[in-house]
Amino acid sequence: MRYYFDDRRDAGRQLAVRLAGHRSERPVVLGLPRGGIPVAYEVARALGAPLDVMIVRKLGLLSQPELGMGAIGEGGARVLNPSVLSAARVTDQELATVEARERAEVARRARKFRGDRPMTSVRGRTVIIVDDGLATGGTARAAVQVARDKGASRVILAIPVAPQESVHALEEDADEVVALFTPSDFHSLGQWYADFEQTSDDEVIALLADGFERDVANPAHAPAPARGDVACHARNGEVTIDVAGARLCGHLTLPEGASGVVLFAHGSGSSRHSPRNIAVAHVLNQAGLGTLLFDLLTHAEASDRANVFDVELLGRRLRSATSWLRSQPGCAALRVGYFGASTGAAAALWAAAAPNADVAAIVSRGGRPDLAGPRLAAVRAPTLLIVGGLDHVVIERNREAASALLCEHRLEIIPGATHLFDEPGTLEQAAWFSTQWFVHHLQPDPTAAGSVSAGSDRRPTARR
């Protein structure tokens, strides 16, 4: 089964990347309960925006409740559908009866989710309405109309996944519709999530309360730097990344003013403690690039060899870690690279083949890119394949993979190196090639990037 998201929080982190350009508008983020709140929480956190809930209730016909004759929201907002009212010959009394019932439900939900706090004012503001997805779009359309009725100057509808026809229809209502995925084989919303457990009222309340406390601490709701601005401060320490069903441990290093960060996808069950990857990361750090070394598998998962070769699982974990990184302070503007070893290289290419992949460059060291199979042709990020000259079987697999790549790519063969690059000087050469590749491709403006050395202008000897 193909999943786009681990869970709703992961969907929110991915969605936030696409919405990064709206930080300067200082938007208000409104989530549709209940499933839209975890998604909206991550969006609001990444954008430095206030978070609130938007409660919308459809006004269904008394005789046919599933057919909406309008919608209502908090503060007296009401949107009616004249064509339905006319066709069904709805009387004023019938409309008043339905509206009174639904207004009571709106008030009940508002008290439950928000307590005594007033709804965040949207008058004159850009509003981003977030849900966990949509099918027909009826509720989302009503939410857009209610936001306009409450004075929003601009309304953006943001959803992780939706049918293409629904997105096109909603473009007539919202100023902008952002949908990460619009699959043609859309049957149900839950089919695109690995974890689509129902969001509880308690979770909604907790997330809104946390968002409100963050807003109070930052009353100006200052937006994060726009993508491309460098606002990265030095950081070096252990981190924990939550993905569906697992807590992954990692180590994040960010040199002061870094413009790019490289995520390491370890292979063959190795972890963030891999001495080879730590050595490469150190060279990248010296060149001014950030690094995130993290465990793609938990200790228990790594004991099952089947997981080590589950490229789709590893690729989804890598994408989740990328979304998590984007939500961290000072990281939203950083260009991202993937460094993969062994099966981790296949995971990096699998993740980079996604339609909205957030990766600017890839390096595979002693990798198995062939395991990414038919997804290789969809990779768009410039890719460097590094192989030891004595690793004959892997050389052939990399050559075959290179022939399938349609993006910018290069194959570097390091003489005298075996699969693990244990021979003196071979790992250093691999680190040098990797650093040159990333420094060039992770510049804020790739067209202006020149050849930047990691410490020496002399190119190590190698065959291609």
pLDDT, greater one: 208 or 185? 208
pLDDT band with cut points at 50, 70 and 90 for residue 444: low
Share of the chain above pLDDT 90, in %: 45
The predicted structure's pLDDT at residue 221: 45
Owning domain of residue 297: 235-448
How large is the average pLDDT for residues 364-370?
93
Residues 48 and 80 in one domain: yes
- Least trusted range by pLDDT, from 9-23, 217-231, 296-310: 217-231
Those residues whose C-beta lies under 8 Å from the C-beta of residue 261, and which sit 6 or more positions away, are 254, 289, 290, 291, 292, 325, 331, 334, 335, 336, 337, 442
Per-residue pLDDT tens over the stretch 293-328: 998 888 878 778 788 788 999 999 999 999 999 888
Please indicate, yes or no, whether residues 52 and 103 belong to a single structural domain of this protein: yes
Which of 185, 217, 249 is a domain's end point? 217
- What is the rounded CA–CA span in Å between residue 206 and residue 204? 6
Its pTM surpasses 0.85: no
For residue 220, the tally of other CB atoms under 10 A from its CB is 8
Residue 451 pLDDT > 50, yes or no?
no
Spatial distance between the Cα atoms of 32 and 129, rounded to a whole number of angstroms: 7
Sheet holding 154-161, edge to edge: 51-53, 28-31, 126-130, 154-161, 176-181
* Domain presence at residue 282: yes
End residue of a domain, out of 161, 184, 217: 217
Assigned domain for 321 exists: yes
Q: Is 3 inside any structural domain?
A: no
**pLDDT at residue 462, rounded to an integer:** 38
Q: Last residue of some domain: 217, 243, 266? A: 217
Is 230 a member of any domain? Answer: no
Distance CA 183, CA 347 (A): 22
Query: What is the per-residue pLDDT for 258?
Result: 83
Any idea what the CATH number is for the domain that residue 150 is in? Answer: 3.40.50.2020
Residue 356 sits in a domain of what CATH number? Answer: 3.40.50.1820
Residue 186 and residue 259 share a domain: no
pLDDT bin (cut points 50, 70, 90) of residue 218 is low
Whether residue 32 is found in the same domain as residue 156: yes
User: What's the rounded mean pLDDT across residues 432-444?
Assistant: 87
Which one is predicted more confidently, 462 or 364? Answer: 364
Task: Classify residue 323: in a domain, yes or no.
Answer: yes
Whether pLDDT at 437 is above 80 = yes
Tell which wins on pLDDT, 395 or 142: 395
Residue 2 in domain:
no
Taking only the tens place, the pLDDT of each residue in 123-135 is: 899 999 999 998 7
Give how many domains the chain has, as a whole number.
2
Q: Say if residue 423's pLDDT is above 60.
A: yes
Residues 40 and 189 grouped into a single domain: yes
Same domain for 166 and 262, yes or no, is no
Distance CA 325, CA 250 (A): 11
Same domain, 363 and 327: yes
**pLDDT at 461 (0 to 100):** 37
Q: How high does pLDDT run on average in the chain?
A: 85
**Confidence label for 455 from pLDDT (cuts 50, 70 and 90):** very low
Instruction: Round the CA-based radius of gyration of the chain to a whole number and report it.
Output: 25
